[in-house]
Every structure is written in C-alpha cells, then in structure tokens.
Amino acid sequence: MRYIAADFGAGSGRVIVGTMCAGDTRPCDSTRVNIELEEIHRFENNQKMIDGHLRWDFYALFNELKTGLKKAFAKYGDEIHSIGIDTWGVDYGLLDKEGRLISNPICYRDSRTQGMLELAFQKLPKDEFFKRAANQFMEINTAFQLLSETELQRADKLLFMPDLFNYFLTGKCCNEFTIASTSQLLNSLTHEWDDVIFDRLNLPKRLMQKMVYPGTVIGRFIDELAEEVGGNANVVAVGSHDTASAVASINDTSDDWAFISSGTWSLMGTPTKEPIISKEAFDSDFTNEGMTDGRIRFLKNITGLWLIQQLVKEWEQEGYKCDYSSLVREAEQSSVSSSFDVDDARFMNPDKMSEAIISYLKERNLTLPTTKGDFMRCVCISLAKKYAEVKTQMERCTNKKINKIYIVGGGSKNQLLNKLAAEYTGCEVIRGEVEATAMGNILMQFTIDN
C-alpha cells in the first residue's frame, strides 16, 4: 500500500510517496510501522505582489500538485490508496456563491494586518479573547486577517489553505480541525466556532464550513482531475496544519518531552490533554492548537529558519552561491557570540535581513557579524536562546519538567543549532525526521486502514 503526502511549506512544497515496509520501526514513528519515503516532486513556493498585496499563487501551486500526482500515478498506478494535504497555518481562500476562488489568497506576511490587534481588543478584551480561543496573539492569525479583508461581502465560503486544495481535488468543502485551531476563531474547549468572537469582531460566521477531524475521508478526485493525473485516490483529512503532522511523527509515550518543528517557523511546544488557559499561559503568549489524536499542542510560534532563508536569498541576489552545509561549517568556526530577539517585529519581512540584524545589534552596542559564518552563528545562538526561554515558560505553565526535545523538520539537519539548543536548554536534543511532516501525514492515512 502506498500513500501520498502533499506537504506545502511557506518556502517550498513536496509531493512524497510513502510505502509501508517490513522491518524495524524508525525511532520517531508514532506507530509500529516502517515507512519508506520517496520524494516524487519538489517545487518552490514564492509569494507575489498582486493588486497591492503579497499573495500565494494558488493556481501555480495546484498545478505543481497535479504534476506530482501525475508522476506518482505514472510510477505506482493503483497501488496508491490515498492522499493527505498539509500546509502552513492561518491563511485562507474565499469562494463565491458559484464555488469559484475569488482571488489568490493573501500571505500572512502582508502588511494589511498592521494595527488589527488593537482594533480587535477594542471589540473583545484581550484576556477574554484568550479564554475563548486560547491562541497566541499574532497579527497574522486568521481572525485579524479577516478584520482587514475587503472581500467578505462577495464571499460565500472560507477554506483554509489545505481545505482549499482538498476542495480543488474533490469538490467538497470542509474545515479540518488542526488547521482551524490556528485561526483564533475556534473555541478551545468546545472545538466549535466561537459565536462571541464572530459577533464581537463583526465577522460572518456563515463563511465557516463543517468541521472534520484527522482520519476523515473527504472524498475522491473529481472526474476531470482523475483523468488528467492518470489515477484516483481517497483524499484524507490528516493533521492538515503541517506542525500537527510533524508532531504526529514522534513516538514517545513519556510526559517529559517537548518538540521543535523547525522550518520557516520554529514551533516549540509539548502535548497536553487539555488546553491551558491560565494567566501564566496568557502572560507568556502561548497557543493551544489541535493534535491528530485529539490532544493539544501547547506551543509558541518562534521566528525560525526564515532568518537564514532571507539571508541566503540576499546573498544569492548579490551573486554568491550559498551551500547550507558550508554555511553551518563556517558558523562553527566563527567566534561571534552576539544574539538578538528573533521575534522582534523588524525581522518579519525586512528589505534586507542582514541590515535588520545589524540594526538590532548596533542599538545594543553588541559585536556585529561580518562574515556569512558570523551571521549564521548569530542566528543559531539567537534561536537556541529563544528555545531556552520558551522551555522555561513552558515548564511553568504545564507544571512539568522537560528533559528531552525532539527537533524535527529541515532544521534538524543543522548540527550547530542542535548543539546550541542542547547547551542553552540543558535538555537532551533528539534529531527527528527531516521530513517529519510527510511522515506524520502518511501515518495518519495508514491508521485509517488499520
């Protein structure tokens, strides 16, 4: 049996085929199975300025998905049983009454949400808001994007990004639980759309769709798509928020571990049975999001490899060819010890990341990086220090000691970052799956059949 994980990240996407194999389990698998992952298709995900807004090119992404499906069916045919879609959180597309996508979805890094937090808190006080949705307050969250949305009157349905891909595959509309839990519109205790939030913010609850949970079969490909890609399969609701799928790849039944899903963002948290809505959690700005097994990911969103991605992009535009492994080796040789707050607003979407970092350090009279290795080390130290800070806050909020940290995703390959994370947090750092999201995605599909 073979399964497809379509994993859309904020910088790139992958179509991966997972095959169930005999043999020993991998150390981070959440079930007693061995899965062989095969990357069938990889592509870039670049945002574009269109009509004055930074947008995702949805149709280009869907075409890349179809290309991956064609390759997979050409190779494996009827052996492919199902497909699961996962993406980054908070962003959405709006459909009109005819079921057409009104426009390309706007990226969470667009400037339209500036000032929306203050506007929201005038309508619904911050502490009451947290007691209901129990999410970290970030202007990028869906609730605050909707406050700045100009197409609500035309819209008939709201689909989060993975829901939108599922709709284009099957023709069926639904909102999956783990992605919905990133929106700041869901009541954390009831797992239902919160009437008070919609009413106070004057947002149309009519846009929201039926909630489905990981493990639900949404449907099969529409006929014309099946003909185009050369095959058909079940479309399954997985942990469609990529971090939910990444955490599902971790096999640990103890209670003393945390995770860092290390990609464009570093999402650091720990599983809990119930949402934590204490004053400590509120003051520390944690979020409560859904897991594939019904538990809660109690976590904090931390700016992650975005910092390095933007530095590399900048250097390559200047004519330098950057190899990630070489940059890590240069960073290991660097003696720079300066650090910065990775979540400072200036790093959200600067024109030049290097200038933003230098600006921060200059204001504090700290040693400035001069080489690429210096910048890389500075970023790694800054991330590791943030991990240590969040770990301490997490322990206070959960009343448990964290002894192990699983780092999954692309950042798990950065040995310097892993080493510094262990040094600053005082924890055992365990490198998980690089393709943890695809692994968790496929494990959920496998679970349905077993």
Question: Which positions are annotated as active-site residues?
Answer: 242
Q: Which of 283, 250, 243, 265 is nearest to 386 (CA)?
A: 265
Token duo for residue 292? 């594939």
Q: Are 196 and 185 in contact (CB under 8 A)?
A: no
- The encoded tokens of residue 80 equal 């492919």
Residue 362, both tokens: 């200059």
Q: Which residue has tokens 């009413």?
A: 199
Q: Measure the CA–CA gap between 384 and 391, rounded to whole angstroms.
A: 10
Cα gap 235→226, rounded to integer Å: 12
Q: Supply the DSSP symbol for 78.
A: G
How many Cβ atoms sit within 10 Å of the Cβ of residue 202? 10
Secondary structure of residue 41 in the 3-state scheme: strand
What tokens appear for 68 in the block? 């991956």
Q: Which residues contact 206 (CB under 8 A, 6 or more apart)?
A: none
Q: Which two tokens stand for residue 208?
A: 């929201």
Q: Are 231 and 217 in contact (CB under 8 A)?
A: no
Tokens of 239: 């942990």
What is d(CA 159, CA 209) in angstroms, rounded to the nearest whole number?
8
Return d(Cα 313, Cα 322) in angstroms, integer. Answer: 9
